[in-house]
Amino acid sequence: MKEIIEKIQKELEAIADPEAKESGEKFFKEKVNLRGVTVPQINDISKEYFPGDKSKKEIFELCDELFRTGFWDESIIACNWSYKMNKQFMPGDFAIFEIWVENYIDNWATCDTFCNHTIGSFVEKYPHYLSELRKWTKSKNRWMKRAAAVSLVLPARKGLFSKYVFEIADVLLLDEDDIVQKGYGWMLKEASKANQEEVFEYVLKNKAVMPRTALRYAIEKMPIEMKNEAMARE
């Protein structure tokens, strides 16, 4: 299986563009190892080399190796491949996903790609793991705290798991890290598409203490009258 990783890396290196690397780095505050390959190119390579003849266990092992390289480009392929296995997800997979979030995710793009799709689809299939997501809000790792929120972005858009959406927002409410604030604000924004009044009431109740970054994200899709009321100072 090592050969698959080596082939992927050679192809990524062959098409890497220094200008794309420099441009991509501007999207991150933290240092991220980019080769200089665009997302469409990465997705094409991901599809080309997906080892569909391998077992889920083998594919997850390959994902682990891709994450371990430390390159953002390879991490996106790992995100794509893990999500492609969603029909085969089993409860024990959560422990693997947790290890990946805790040890390998170090930027918002990988966090959101992995959590929106892989973990989001996992908790829709196994909702009793939502309580495990809630535990991540207590982590000292900023990416695990963001992951707790952004893993619910797609389910929340469908109107699912409102109880956990607000419980996670409650714990993260006063977090000083803007990465976390944007994460739970985004979760609330998506929840507002199905449960606008409930999210609006939550924002009004907490607007005196909610960081402005999170508040603006949460109300982004609301009517202007609601936005004005939410943003008005008492």
pLDDT tens for 74-110 read: 999 999 999 999 999 999 999 999 999 999 999 999 9
Range list of H helices, the chain: 2-15, 18-25, 39-49, 56-68, 72-84, 93-103, 108-113, 120-125, 130-136, 142-150, 153-157, 162-172, 178-192, 196-206, 212-219, 224-231
Least confident of 26-30, 35-39, 209-213: 26-30
Q: What is the mean pLDDT of the chain?
A: 97
- 3-state SS, one letter per residue, for 141-186: CHHHHHHHHHCCHHHHHCCCCHHHHHHHHHHHCCCCCHHHHHHHHH
Give me the count of residues in the chain. Answer: 234
Distance CA 43, CA 102 (A): 24
- Is the pLDDT confidence value at 2 over 90? no
Distance CA 90, CA 79 (A): 17
Quick one: CA dihedral 79, 220, 201, 158, positive or negative?
negative
Question: Tell me: the pLDDT tens digits for 133-160?
Answer: 999 999 999 999 999 999 999 999 999 9
pLDDT (0 to 100) of residue 234: 56
